[in-house]
A and B are shown apart, each in its own frame.
Chain A
Amino acid sequence: MTSEHPSHLAASLRRRGWLLSAWPWRALAYLVSTVPIAGVLTVGLLVVGAPLLPVVSTLRRQGRPPSIALMLFLITGSIILVALAPIVSFAVGVVERWRVRLVDNRPLPSSPWPGLAARYRSAATWREVAYLFWLGGFVPVAYWVFLVLVLLDVGMVTSPWLAGDSEPVVIWQPIESTGEAVPYAIVGVLLLPVLCYGVGLLAAGQAAVARWALTSPVDAAALREVARSRTRLVGAYEAERRRIERDLHDGAQPRLTSLTLQLGLARLDVPEDSPAARPLAVAHDQARGLMVMLRQLVHGIRPQTLTDLGLAGAVRELADAAPVAVTVHADIESALPEIVDTTAYFVVSEALSNVARHAGATRAEVRLSRVGGDLVVEVSDDGRGGADPARGTGLTGLADRVAAADGRLLLSSPPGGPTLVRVELPCRR
Chain B
Amino acid sequence: MSPLTRVVLAEDEVLLREGLVALLTRFDFTVCAAVGSAPDLLEAARAHEPDLVLTDIRMPPGRRDDGLRAAVALRAERPGLPVVVLSQFVQTGYAAALLDSGDGQRVGYLLKDRVAEVTEFVDTLRRVTAGGTAIDPDVVRQLLHRPRDPLAALSAREREVLALLAEGRSNASIAARLHVTEAAVGKHVGNILLKLDLPPSDDTNRRVLAVLTYLRADPVG
Contacts and interface: CB of A to CB of B under 8 A. Distances in A.
B92 A304 contact: no
B15 to A, nearest CB: 4
A254 to B, nearest CB: 3
Contacts of B23: 261, 265
B63 interface: yes
A139 B18 CA distance: 89
A327 B202 contact: yes
A168 interface: no
Interface stretch (A109-117, A153-161, A305-313): A305-313
Among B88, B89, B119, max chain A CB count under 10 A is at B88
B47 interface: no
B124 to A, nearest CB: 14
A309 B62 CA distance: 11
A316 B115 CA distance: 28
A234 B26 CA distance: 49
B113 A261 contact: no
Contacts of A260: 113, 115-116
A254 B15 CA distance: 8
Contacts of B92: 317, 320-321
A251 to B, nearest CB: 8
Interface in B9-27: 11-13, 15-16, 18-20, 22-23, 26
Contacts of A288: 113, 116
Interface in B56-105: 57-58, 63-65, 88-89, 91-93
A292 interface: yes
Interface residues of A, number: 42
A219 interface: no
Interface string B101-124: 000000000001101111100000
A301 to B, nearest CB: 12
Nearest to B18: A258
Contacts of B187: none
B88 to A, nearest CB: 6
A305 B91 contact: yes
B88 A249 contact: yes
- Report which residue of B16, B22, B147, B207 has the largest number of chain A beta carbons within 10 angstroms of its beta carbon: B16
A257 B16 contact: yes
Interface in A238-280: 246, 249-251, 253-255, 257-258, 260-265, 267-268
A253 B16 CA distance: 10
A207 interface: no
Most buried by B among A257, A298, A323: A257
B203 interface: yes
Contacts of B118: 261, 264-265, 267-268
Task: List the 8 closest pairs (A to B, CB-CB), nearest first.
Answer: A254-B13, A264-B118, A260-B116, A258-B16, A258-B15, A261-B19, A254-B16, A258-B19
Given A265-B118, A321-B92, A321-B142, 4 more contacts: A250-B58, A291-B116, A304-B91, A308-B65
Interface of A: 246, 249-251, 253-255, 257-258, 260-265, 267-268, 284, 287-288, 291-292, 295, 298-299, 304-305, 307-310, 313, 316-317, 319-321, 323, 325-328
